[in-house]
Amino acid sequence: MDTRDQILAAATTVFSQHGFRGSTTRRIADAAGVNEVTIFRYFGSKDALLEEAVRLDSTTPLSGLLPEVPQDPEAELTSWSEAIRDHLHAKRSLIRKCMGELEERPEMMLCAKQAPVRSTNTLCKYFESLRKHGFTQDESDPMVAATMLMGTIFHDAMGREMMPEAMPKPQSKAVPQYVRLLLKGIGVKRKSHTQ
C-alpha cells in the first residue's frame, strides 16, 4: 500500500470521526504515519484530498443482488436487506458526517447519496417484478414499498446504537420482521413453513 493510498484511507477515517472542519491536515498526517507536507505534495489542498477520499469510498461496488425473477421473496429480500443494513451500519459515521455537511459541501452528498438511490431503484424493480410474476395482485406503488423498506433499514442501521430503546429486539430478528410486514402489506403470501 503506497503513500497515496495510506493518506486517502487515513483521510476517510479521520473525516468519519471528526467531519470536515475537524479533519485537520495534522490529524490526517498522523493517522497516515506521514509528514504533513506530503499531503500537500500529493493532493494540493485539504479540500481536494477529502473530496477524493469520500468519492473513492462511496464508489465501492457493493452489493448483494436481487434476482430478476423472484423465487422466494421473503428469503431473497431478507438476505439482501441484511446485507444493506450491515453495509450502512459499517459506514454509519461517514454517512452521518456527509449528511451533516450537506449545506456547506453539497458535492460530498452527491457522491454519498448514490448508493442509497441505487439500492432503492433495485428494490423498486424487484417489487415490480413481484407483481409481474404474480406474487401479488395489489396495485400499490412499488416505490412506496421500496422507500419504506430502505427507510426502515437505514433507520435501524443508523439509529440502533443511538436509541436502542426505540428498536425491535433482538437485532437479529428485526430485518426478517420488517420484510415480513412489508410483504404482507403489499399482498405477497408467505411461501411455506408456518408461523
Chain contacts with a second copy (rule: CB under 8 A): 17-19, 21-22, 93, 96-97, 99-104, 109, 113, 116-117, 120-121, 140-141, 143-148, 150-156, 158-159, 162-163, 165-169, 174, 177-178, 180-187
At closest approach, how far in Å is the CB of 46 from DNA?
3
* 93 in contact with DNA (CB under 7 A): no
Closest separation in Å from C-beta 42 to DNA: 7
Cβ(108)–Cβ(54) below 8 Å = yes
**Which residues are CB-neighbours of 109 under 8 A, at least 6 positions away?**
98, 99, 101, 102
Residue 68: contacted member of a second copy, DNA, none (CB under 5 to 8 Å, by partner type):
none
CA 82 – CA 79 distance, rounded (Å)? 5
Query: CB-wise, 41 or 193, nearer to DNA?
Result: 41
SS (H, E, C) 96-163: HHHHHCCCCCHHHHHHHCHHHHHHHHHHHHHHHHHHHCCCCCCCCCHHHHHHHHHHHHHHHHHHCCCC
Does 2 sit near DNA (CB under 7 A)? yes
Q: How far is CA 100 from CA 19, 93, 106, 150, 152, in A?
A: 8, 11, 10, 20, 20
Q: Does 67 interact with DNA (rule: CB under 7 A)?
A: no
Query: How many Cα neighbours within 13 Å face the side chain of 185?
Result: 15
> Which helix (H) or strand (E) element contains residue 164?
none
Supply the minimum distance, in Å, between the C-beta of residue 177 and DNA: 44
Give the three cell numbers for residue 44. 494540493
Contact 11, 43 (CB under 8 A): no
Closest distance between DNA and the C-beta of residue 20, in Å? 9
Is 72 an interacting residue with respect to DNA (CB under 7 A)? no
Partner from DNA, a second copy, none binding residue 97, C-beta < 5-8 Å depending on class: a second copy
Note whether 63 binds DNA by CB under 7 A: no
Binding mask 28-47 for DNA (x = CB under 7 A): -----xxxxxx-xxx-xxxx
Binding residues for DNA, per CB under 7 A? Answer: 2-3, 23-27, 33-38, 40-42, 44-47
